[in-house]
Amino acid sequence: MTYRSDRQITQELLPVHLFAAVIREGIDDPNGDDARQLMAWLGQSQEEIVAGIIDKKATALVRRARAAVELVKKPFVEAQAPVAKFGLCVFYLLDCLRQNGVFGMVDGSSLDKTAEALLSPEGTLTEFANIEKVDVSAQKQARHMLQALQADGYFRGVVWG
């Protein structure tokens, strides 16, 4: 197995916890079958990322990822922004990371299934993406999310756009 620093592992965990925040904050029925399935997929993704890491260290890395998510979520909470806008920003952020080669999803993986479900054509995120003013704003906010994560030491060298 290739060596990964704590920062690299935390960066791998961030998409999982960003999606989890969107689900926890935005789903109508957090105890429903859909929510449970999405969270189970995210749990599988997290387990794959921390596999082979001592439990105490894995717990600390998960805690770091959650703290970073809270950091980027804070402006949305303070502005009382719709969760769907936060979710759209997450997708733009992850797309930027993908374009920079620091994030990717394996087709059919647990994370891919979660993303596919959240971006369903009849979903709220897609509705928000189709509103030009909201979409442009979400792209700008996603850039701010990246800057906040970079100020916290993550995704060094990633360039927006």
11 residue type, one letter: Q
Q: What is the pLDDT of residue 28?
A: 77
Is the CB of residue 97 less than 8 Å from the CB of residue 157? no
Region 8-19 average pLDDT? 97
Side-chain-side CA neighbours of residue 43 (13 Å): 6
SS3 state at 21: helix
Supply the pTM of this predicted model.
Answer: 0.92
Each residue of 39-98: pLDDT tens digit? 999 999 999 999 999 999 999 999 999 999 999 999 999 999 999 999 999 999 999 999
Q: What is the pLDDT of residue 121?
A: 77
How crowded is residue 95: how many other Cβ atoms within 10 Å of its Cβ?
13
- CA dist 14 and 68 (Å) reads 8
Each residue of 108-149: pLDDT tens digit? 999 999 999 888 777 777 888 888 999 999 999 999 999 999
Give the CA radius of gyration of the chain.
15
- CA dist 24 and 54 (Å) reads 27
SS3 state at 121: coil
For 131, phi then psi, to 5°, come to: -100, 110
pLDDT at 1 over 70: no
Q: What is the pLDDT of residue 114?
A: 93
- CA dist 14 and 69 (Å) reads 7
Q: What is the pLDDT of residue 155?
A: 97
* 157 token code pair: 């060298």
